[in-house]
Amino acid sequence: MASIWIKNPMAIYTANAFDARGGLLISDGKITELIALGANPTQPFEEIFDAKNLVITPGLINSHHHFYQTLTRAWAPVVNAPLFPWLKTLYPVWAKLNPEQLHLATQVALAELVLSGCTFAADHHYLFPEQLTDAIDIQVQAAQQIGLRVMLTRGSMSLGSDAGGLPPQHTVQEIDTILKDSERLVQRYHQRSEDAMVNIALAPCSPFSVTQDIMRESAKLADFYDVRLHTHLAETLDEENFCMHMFGMRTVDYLESVGWLNSRTWLAHGIHFNAEEITRLGQAHVGICHCPHSNMRLASGICPTFDLIQAGVPIGLGVDGSASGDASNLILETRQAMYLQRLKYGAETITPELALGWATKGSAQLLGREQHLGQIAVGYQADLAFYSLDELRFSGAHDPLAALLLCGADRAEHVMIKGQWIVKNQNLVSVDLERLQAEHRIAAKQLLAA
């Protein structure tokens, strides 16, 4: 692995940009030196990469997704549906998913993410029909072929419609099956090194699709193996009403009742909390993944990000499933987060730098990787996104970092993961994208025709 001097970027998103105006040195997959403007590296290097026309950010980190949903984007029967009807219509379709379709869907999601500048992605996979019991194994293989870091969460649904839940009965699993497979996956795939490419977390789907027993047992298992916990929570008022009707408590009380109100947990959406609940979440250091496109598409509401931050809650970003956000583009998600949150908190409060922080350092914190990922700093993994401002949309832009979001960057010029080029000149290095896209389109048609 060659030592590379990333030289003289146009702009760089670091804690102190002046420390790295001359670039950074990459050795053995890590950032080993930040270089001041006009200076040379103090360490030996083998290559120089001229970044004078590029804006560099840490690799973006996606902390909530459903990769398989790339197969059901913009499907007419649910285009105008809110969450519960949307799910009820799609559950029977998703239940037909086969291994080949999941592999293609995962690769398309990862390819789209990395082309947008994402270097680490969390997926919440909770569908395990009889033909797809090894879903996470399939995703590990697909991610390895693309070259992206992944946090694969072993999701589950155990509360079917016969017992008052939302999912059809044939889509749920028994608790023993879920726990046994969860344990197997952690033991087989979860990596603990600072350069880990695969992490595993436990992720019962949502209050309306799992029993309290699987929530409690997953928390115990996660504590035993020291892995993270993930679920959907407080996404819609329908979910809030479900919790009151089914469990006799609001969502944060529910979270505490099953042993999840702790720093091991990060939640998707987190919209409908009151002030007292926000305080409790902050005291427990529970993380929230904001998913603006999905929340707007399904008209779910606006996550109270700044209230949560002030209470001590870490905030990250996620594109959510590609059937609710309809795209897996994290730089566009970051832009959307900035604009949506400005409606709630004002332009002075929600800056481009704040939103980029959610997409990098914030998401790294949610996924337990903040010591190694999400920042451009000495000792951190060399996961970097490089954006060009050469397109017409950027002409006349004066602040390069702000321009990424204000002018609508949607694709990285280059992407590096662990010091290796994964995207060069907007092309994915590892996969024939044209062939992947063609196979994926066929798979999407077959799934809906089945």
| pLDDT tens profile 283-303 | 999 999 999 999 999 999 999
Kindly give the pairing relationship between strand 54-58 and strand 384-388: antiparallel
User: What's the CA gap between 59 and 35, in Å, rounded?
Assistant: 19
What letter represents residue 261's amino acid? L
Which residue in this structure is represented by tokens 């200076």? 39
CB atoms within 10 A of CB 8: 18
Identify the three-state secondary structure at position 33.
strand
The residues facing 288 across adjacent strands are 267, 315
Q: Which domains can be identified in the chain, with CATH numbers?
A: 4-58+380-428 (2.30.40.10), 60-366 (3.20.20.140)
Q: pLDDT digits over 57-89, tens only?
A: 999 999 999 999 999 999 999 999 999 999 999
Q: What is the pLDDT of residue 247?
A: 95
Q: What's the token pair of residue 146?
A: 């693309």
- What is the four-CA torsion angle of 238, 241, 246, 252, rounded to 10 degrees? 100
What pLDDT does residue 54 have?
98
- Residues making up the chain, counted from first to last: 450
Q: How far apart are CA 279 and CA 265, in angstroms?
A: 16
The residue ranges of DSSP E strands in 237-342, in sequence order, are 265-269, 287-290, 315-317
Q: Which residues contact residue 434 at a Cβ distance below 8 angstroms, ignoring those fewer than 6 apart?
A: none
| pLDDT reported for residue 16 | 77
Per the structure block, which two tokens stand in for 70? 């790339």
Work out whether the CA dihedral 330, 332, 335, 341 comes out positive or negative. negative
* Residue 318 pLDDT: 98
Tens-level pLDDT at each residue, the chain (450 residues): 789 999 999 999 997 767 899 999 999 999 999 999 999 999 999 999 999 999 999 999 999 999 999 999 999 999 999 999 999 999 999 999 999 999 999 999 999 999 999 999 999 999 999 999 999 999 999 999 999 999 999 999 999 999 999 999 999 999 999 999 999 999 999 999 999 999 999 999 999 999 999 999 999 999 999 999 999 999 999 999 999 999 999 999 999 999 999 999 999 999 999 999 999 999 999 999 999 999 999 999 999 999 999 999 999 999 999 999 999 999 999 999 999 999 999 999 999 999 999 999 999 999 999 999 999 999 999 999 999 999 999 999 999 999 999 999 999 999 999 999 999 999 999 999 999 999 999 999 999 998
